[in-house]
Chains A and B, each alone.
Chain A
Amino acid sequence: MHPALQGLLTIFIGVGGCVGYFYGANLFLDKVLFKAEGPNAGRNINRANMIRPWLFLMPALLALGIYLAYPVVATLRLSFLERLPGNEYAFVGFDNYTKMFAEPKFMEALRNNILWLVIVPAAATGFGLLAAQLTDRLSWGNIAKSIIFMPMAISFVGAAVIFKLIYEARPEDVAQIGILNHLYLLFGGAEPQQWLQIPFWNNFFLMAVLIWIQTGFAMVILSAALRGIPEETVEAAIIDGANPFQIFFKIKIPQIMSTIVVVWTTITIATLKVFDIVFAMTNGQWETQVMANYMYDKLFRANDWGMGSASAMIIMLMVTPILVWNVYNARKEMQ
């Protein structure tokens, strides 16, 4: 069957199935299981209302359980096992972890990931804040915002192609088609550089891609937060003779601190999972490995599920503080 047809059929079955399930289950609950009539009507209505939330939640809980909760446990389990020929597993304790930490490529991935974690959220939030503040009172601010926000819609792979064109290096005696090398030569560089092959610094050229994508996100949220600042506080500062920089850093920033933290952590999570950019641009060569790509290498190229799972757990471990913090905040808010 043609995949497009199959897709249509799936939409039909999926949507029909969902609607059918919700409608049918409700009908069953009200008309068959606990009829709202007869001598037990009151009790039946109460019973039906106790069950109904779970009816509504069931498909979601199933999907969340199978696709997110179970894998965490299963991956944890896999990380302590070694796969033997013939689909058998042997318990090896922390062997996978110790082996992994002994690998230079893993340490490189860990170092790079930490570098990404420090720089990308900081730079994206910083640029976002700058863009939000600068465009705030501008007559064409919305157009500017739209353009800075636009990379959000572009895939990491698309962005990888875009930036590869920027970093492109051609031999010295022909015209440069990568704008970075063009500018580099224009401002006195000696010879064209292969930007993605200069160890250590190439990490920054990869980070630029993610910063470029995430800045718009930071800008949109921070600009809403800036607009939420009570006018009186700014006016009072002006009357007291504060200069624009003092107003920005001493009056505005403290008031939107909580939003900055939210933006920062959201970008941190996105950074932790960064895979496509490295996969498409360098594939971890020239010392640009990151955790997610290292894990992909282990799982699908080396076919080492034990070490792959162990490295996935490291990513999970790095996310956990944010997870706990988010849950803590959500609970606080609900009370």
Chain B
Amino acid sequence: MDAMAGRKPAVVWALNISVVALVALWLFPTLGLFISSFRTGDQITASGWWSSLFPAEQTLQIRAADPDDNRIDLGNGRFMVEGNIFDGQGFEGEMKSWGTSSRALDANAPGDAADLGDGETFTLNADGTYIWEGDDDQISGRAQRVFIGVTSPPDFTIQNYNFVLFDENNSEGMAKAFFNTLTVVIPATIIPILIAAFAAYALAWMEFPGRALLIAAVVGLLVVPLQLALIPLLTLHNAVGIGKGYLGVWLAHTGFGLPLAIYLLRNYMVGLPRDIIENAKVDGATDFQIFTKIILPLSFPALASFAIFQFLWTWNDLLVALVFLIDASGQTTVMTKQIVELLGTRGGDWEILATSAFVSIAVPLGVFFAMQKYLVRGLLAGSVK
């Protein structure tokens, strides 16, 4: 598998195929949701999302125009009806075959003239124009029924997004939840960075008794499950008058995010060259100046990677919002909570579910692809040294 001499083509093929399979396994779940969000509810329930990518084959059943109103006298007792079979059908696609009997749906090709017996004929062209000809008896009463096998191109719509995001009559819309989530996330991302940066600098570059102990404590707190914090903190928030609301959730996210922030930033700052800091000290810079003028700018990659972590974590969070933010009024619901509600109330309406879920997934995915470099760097700083 390594770049060794004599790599067999078969091995290379097997390698490529297994990676393709792996990637497909990881991509298809999201892709399914993404595609479903662009289909109407009827389309979703009619066929799997995977079949929507290919032209769909279906059989249309259409009648020709009413012979009693539309027939043209050809003389000699012959009559005919002429027209376009697709008139008023709003149809897009391509005709593959057609037939006049339910027992032979695809008996004829486009352009064929079908013999209906006793001199009655029906000719149908690919563009839908037809000529139906026969005697007085045949061209009267009920119009001729035609079965048409058509393939329609993949059909997608953005109406789900319009409904979920912009429809003001939709009480389950995501627009408000989207802004609520944003309101939670931005302060909850920025504030811990600032607090953690100062603490990380102190733990990395300042000498004081108890430093090692504090670092160990931060490492320990990294894994404390936030489940433990729910009741004591909610009681505390109620006691000091914060109650349930944005302030509470901002504080909670700040507290829960700090161990990782301090840990990541300290690990990064410790690795900065000692010379720079000592030279600055010799030149008479204070710790505060060193921190703001040298350490902060140099630590940008670490700050960015923590910011992404915290952003993803707060954006995707459900538990903290449930406990510290969302009250009985439901005015402050966030997207994750909204989706869980929808799973309960609209469990079968996949067009709503898929679209709502994708609205909430889209922003983190955008951030992920834009800032992947920093995310990877942060992960590596946290676990491999």
Contact = CB atoms under 8 A, between A and B. Distances in A.
Nearest to B47: A175
Contact of B231 (A56, A61, A78, A161): A78
A222 B66 CA distance: 72
A137 B1 contact: yes
A157 B316 contact: yes
A155 B364 CA distance: 9
Contacts of B27: 147, 150
Contacts of B202: 52-54, 56-57
Contacts of B203: 57
Chain B binding surface SS class: helix
A60 B202 CA distance: 11
Interface stretch (A97-105, A115-123, A199-207, A305-313): A305-313
Contacts of B154: none
B186 A263 contact: no
A225 interface: yes
Interface string A270-292: 00110110011100000000001
B380 A221 contact: yes
A281 to B, nearest CB: 8
Contact of A179 (B48, B228, B372, B380): B48
Contacts of B340: 157, 279-280
B231 A308 contact: yes
Given A10-B247, A64-B258, A327-B216, A158 B228 contact: no
Interface string A290-314: 0010011001100001001100110
Nearest to A130: B22
A149 interface: yes
Contact of B223 (A179, A215, A309, A322): A322
A109 interface: no
A67 B23 contact: no
A23, A150, A177, A279: most-surrounded residue (chain B CB, <10 A): A177
Contacts of A255: none
Given A160-B343, A165-B350, A154 B225 contact: no
B272 interface: no
Contact of A312 (B15, B48, B194, B228): B228
A78 B232 contact: yes
A26 B286 contact: yes
Contact of A221 (B46, B365, B379): B379
B121 interface: no
A54 B208 contact: yes
A164 B343 contact: yes
A280 B379 CA distance: 27
Interface in A38-88: 49-50, 52-54, 56-57, 59-61, 63-64, 66-72, 74-75, 78
B48, B224, B228, B286: most-surrounded residue (chain A CB, <10 A): B228
A248 interface: yes
Contacts of A3: 179-180, 183, 246, 332
Given A153-B312, A157-B318, A161-B353, A19 B194 contact: yes
A225 B384 contact: yes
A3 B343 CA distance: 26
Given A137-B3, A221-B384, A330-B219, A59 B198 contact: yes
A14 B233 contact: no
A212 to B, nearest CB: 7
Interface in A163-177: 163-166, 168, 170, 174-177
Contacts of B251: 63, 67
Interface in A111-139: 127, 130-131, 133-135, 137-138
A11, A67, A273: most-surrounded residue (chain B CB, <10 A): A67
Contacts of A334: 212, 215
A60 B199 contact: yes
Contact of B364 (A133, A141, A154, A266): A154
Given A179-B48, A221-B384, A155 B372 contact: no
A165 B30 contact: no
A195 interface: no
Contacts of A259: 383-384
B2 A137 contact: yes
Contacts of A299: 230-231
B169 interface: no
B221 interface: yes
Contacts of B380: 220-221, 224
Interface stretch (B68-76, B96-104, B128-136, B354-362): B354-362
B221 A68 contact: yes
12 contacts: A7-B246, A30-B286, A53-B208, A63-B195, A64-B259, A66-B255, A153-B361, A162-B32, A179-B50, A215-B26, A259-B383, A309-B231
